[in-house]
Amino acid sequence: MQNTNRFKCKPLSAAIAASVLTLSSQSLMAQDAAPVEEVLVTGIRASLQNAMDIKRDSAGVVDAISAEDIGKFPDTNLAESLQRITGVSINRNNGEGSQITVRGWGPDFNMVTLNGRTMPVGSAYGGGSGADQTTRGGASRAFDFANIASEGVSGVEVYKTGKANITTGGIGATVNVLTARPLNTPGLNASVGGKLVHDTTNRTGDDVTPELSGIFSWTDDDAKFGVGLSASYQERDSGYTGATVNDWDVNEWGLIGGQSDFNEPYDSDVFVNAPDNGQLYTRPYDIRYTFSDRERIRTNAQLTLQYAPTDAITATVDYTFAQNEQSEHRGEVTNWVQRSPFLETVEFDNQAIATPVVITELYNQDPENSPTVRDIGYSQYYRSQEDTLDSLGLNVEWEVNDNLTLAFDVHDSTMESVPTGPGYAGEVDVGVGAPIKTGKTLYYGSDLPYWTWDTDDSIVSNGDGIIDENDLSSTVLRIWSAEQVSDVTQFKFDGMWEFDEGRFDFGIERREMSSNTTSYNGNNQQVLGGWGAAAPGEFPDGSFEPFNLVGEYSDFNTGSAPATGFRADARDLAAFLVSEYGAYVGVENNGGNTASSDTIEEDTLAAYFQVGFDGQIGNFQVNVLTGLRYEATDQTSISNTPPLARFVWQSDNDFAQESVPVDATISENDYDVLLPNLDVQVNFTDDIVARFSTSQTIARAGLASLTSAVNGFGVGGSTLLASTPRANANNPFLKPLMSTNYDLSFEWYFDDTSMASVGFFQKRVDNFVGNEDSIRTFEVRNQTAGPRAQAALLALQDGGWEVSDPALYAMISILDNPTDFPNGADDYDGTVGQQSALGEGCTTADCFIYPRDDDPLMEFEVTTPVNDDEQRKVSGMELAVQHFFGDTGFGVMANYTIVSGNTEFDVFSLEEQYALEGLSDTANMVLMYENYGVQARLAYNWRDDYLNRQNVGSGNNPGFIEDHSQFDLNVSYDITDNLSVSFEGLNITGEDRREYARNKAMLWGLEDLGARYQIGARYKF
């Protein structure tokens, strides 16, 4: 498979290399090198002082983090360090900092640059299967800090206010990651380090894994030529134990005699503590206990060459490589919530949104005449993905004279997130079930729902009375695969003219961004043992390993949940099913798969100027920086997504999609913006500083929203029984979000490494992106509401039978097959056994119900992103203090951020909403000690509840992350001036992660997390 965008700009890379070789071949001019200022800082105190000085001397609101020594950043993970800054919070993946939120604006609304350069992003882990919150479908603008090791980083700058000379894209902030430059530290500087990593969540991998890093910097005696090299390698083995719920129906409790989402009348005796008429109530789809075993290999390297032929000219060429290889074995124990006729009891709680606390189901209602079971889900997954960043750049800075400095910068950078599983699969999903369950009771309402069940393996399986691998059958096989390949080519020319009491900055920029996301098999599922798991015992002996899954939970109460879980290598299971059923694994199978490809291209031309003045107003020193940036963007959206041709109805609520190829859809859009900024700094005294800033900044809509495709088709049952088909349509004509920002802050620098500050900010955002729903039809026929379905519904009603999706599906099958059912509707007996045999228990295509020409067109509720007319406001306050207590060595750093706005999600509304994800209060405290060669930090981080996602599933539900906190510990000791040893503990109290929907009883997912420990040594030359 080829992607035309992948190698688009490689000729530029060759040109950069040729340019630097040409420059390096010039003879050295015989001028004495001017002394180069030593900027290397060592230790906690020096690092904080350097960061404090950057904040103090910057125009606008800027926070910074500096390396404590060469090759030693405060935290192993950059995101973990960034969360110590006021207003910055992080999203964690697998217990590790991954993406950042700044002042309530999530990862897609923050721009991350490397040495001032816009970096491409890409994330398509798990093929976007959606099996849990860790999977990604590509089409992302969010930068993943887990890809970057901190050892090669010299500092990080966080610009919270806009400036004309900063690349656009961040409403929350622009984060600039700085790497070491050899000419900044003349001579020979080197450091090597090693760590042993132990993750307490690890089950099957190595208990101790290695991490190696090194950084080397050298210049000649005249500091005219320098070479810098940094590299790191880390292996990490970890485990995951959690739980998920796939979806929650939410509706209003209806009139007496109507039909609820449980397919029971509202006045049914099944319901206990039933909701009031008109009250919102909910129905869960399932509860899944999940586990996984993960491996991660991260490799980073950067090579930097610098040449200063004169005191006035410095040329830098650098190459950055970052690769993150991930693989995961995952499994589940799944209990699906059934509808009538299996319900015995549904008991609701007393919350404003009535939520079930107990659901009791009975399947084997007539064991003598119609013995019936349902399967326990034991699906197995394998995931594998590789993310690779390549960046090559050239920078030339020329001090033309004492007043004028010019700089030219160009880079070509590519990010590829590609699947590395069998046959280019990102996720191999092997559906496995044990058809032995005769009834169950589900207990919701606690942090972790649990269940009990009754089983009988003599009805379908081997009858040995033991839940073992001989009871396991395949159900379906699904292959998920997605790749995102992004490329950024950026040219920048900047100038600065310094004059008495001020300066004039100017520049132009050209940035070309292309991001392609290709997804495979998004609507393909191979029915093998069938939805009813009809082939127990088919797998070879030894395919599965039984283990006590509930014993893996350390922080959550699993109640009386059965202990049995199974794990297996999904690749081996899939290979067996290929030989057994003729199934396939991969993304190419004689046209049997579908591929959806979306490309977004943005070509941006920008020009800016800004003027800075230093002066006096009365007795106060005043610094003013004001500027204007103009940007024009041409955007092209290319979508080659096969449209849905038809649904194949495979059982009561199971549908497969079939698509047809079409030509690509191309949409073009353009827009321009004018972005002013003003920063005013007043020094009331040498120690007290006040700042006022106002600016306009933009953030572009998410890449997925800008495609031209209609996708996300789905239906969960017959539309005659109130099921609603849904789809997603995107909008390539979305405007960028425009934010008008105001900042006011006061800072008191009361000692060399001590300060206190308070800041107020407000962001007024236009063109906020939300969703709206509409009813649309496509060329898709609806067999669930056509003449066959209507005749089946009438037959059920005439016979006095219960009406449900399984009953309707069975009756259609009977009426449509007079050969096997010569008596028509009279051959329907209403038993669960017959419904199962004709529905999920049948594994051949002859049982499926296909659309016909006389079926009506299916009406879809289509969700489309749109720009909102209402202005959104986010306001907040940031409080910070930092202090070292004299010569004791003890210090403290603390901050608190409060944010609010008219962007909150209304949990009592069922409509599509426009809410800001990530908005939350945060707090940090770090206790520090540095003396006698000992450096120690105990860091505490807290984040309040926040909206993580919205308009999810059939109920347009939100997803809120519960408030959580974490303690981290870092201790090092300098054995000599060159040799130090260290100990790190991350999440040392084992705090967990939990996500809920409209109330805390509506679980979306949770992770039972553990601590991670590292011991290391570092030698500095």
C-alpha 387/C-alpha 125 separation (Å) is: 9
Q: What is the residue-averaged pLDDT of the chain?
A: 90
Query: What is the pTM (predicted TM-score) of this model?
Result: 0.89
pLDDT digits (tens, 9 = 90+) for 745-758: 999 999 989 999 99
CB 768 within 8 A of CB 874: no
What is the rounded CA–CA span in Å between residue 182 and residue 812? 76
Q: Is 437 strand, coil or helix?
A: strand
Predicted confidence (pLDDT) at residue 137 exceeds the cutoff of 90: no
CB 959 within 8 Å of CB 912: no
Q: Positive or negative, the Cα torsion across 285, 287, 291, 297?
A: positive
What is the enclosing helix (H) or strand (E) of 675?
Answer: strand 665-683
Calculate helix-pair angle for 787-798, 805-815, nearest 10 degrees: 110
pLDDT band at 18, cuts 50/70/90? very low
How far apart are alpha carbons 944 and 958 in whole angstroms?
16
Higher pLDDT, 501 or 693: 693
pLDDT tens column, 194-209: 999 999 999 999 999 9
824-858 pLDDT, tens digit each: 999 999 888 888 888 877 777 788 999 999 999 99
Give percent of the chain above pLDDT 70.
94
Residue tagged 């919270």 (tokens): 160
Name every residue whose Cβ is closer than 8 Å to that of residue 446 and which is 6 or more positions away in sequence.
557, 559
pLDDT digits (tens, 9 = 90+) for 871-905: 999 999 999 999 999 999 999 999 999 999 988 89
> What mean pLDDT do residues 4-17 have?
40
Of 41 and 391, the structure prediction assigns the larger pLDDT to 391
- When pLDDT is averaged across residues 526-547 and rounded to a whole number, the result is 93
Under 8 Å between Cβ of 118 and 679: no
Question: Per-residue pLDDT for 589 more than 80?
Answer: no
Q: Which tokens is 920 given?
A: 């939350």
* pLDDT score for 365: 84
Q: What is the pLDDT of residues 384-411, one digit of tens each?
A: 999 999 999 999 999 999 999 999 999 9
In the chain, pLDDT over 90 holds for what percent of residues?
71
